[in-house]
Amino acid sequence: MAQEVISPAANARGCIIHAAASMVRGPAVLSSLIVKTSAPANIFDGQALAITSGYSAFTNSDADILKLDREFFVPAGLGVYFISNKNRDGGMMQVIYSLL
């Protein structure tokens, strides 16, 4: 299930994504930060700003690690969503953005 960060309606004049990060626990989990006019159906459905997976030595378990550390302009009318390919066991997701 997609988690809405910014709805298309709230993004009336465009927005700037300054940074984003997530660390989500679960076996073979992939997550992505998607830009689209509606909620994505999967991790590839839309324009992906970031998608990644990795093994976290910090948690000593399978973990999805996503980091976006450069700014992106998102045109008006597009929403911003986090979505994963599987159910997650826990973790955190964050986005720093400015609505214009």
- Per the structure block, which two tokens stand in for 7? 């709805």
What is the percent of the chain with per-residue pLDDT over 70, rounded to a whole number?
79
- Per the structure block, which two tokens stand in for 24? 């989500």
Q: pTM to 2 decimals?
A: 0.83
Q: How far is CA 45 from CA 42, 55, 83, 98, in A?
A: 5, 24, 10, 24
78-94 pLDDT, tens digit per residue, is: 999 988 877 666 677 88
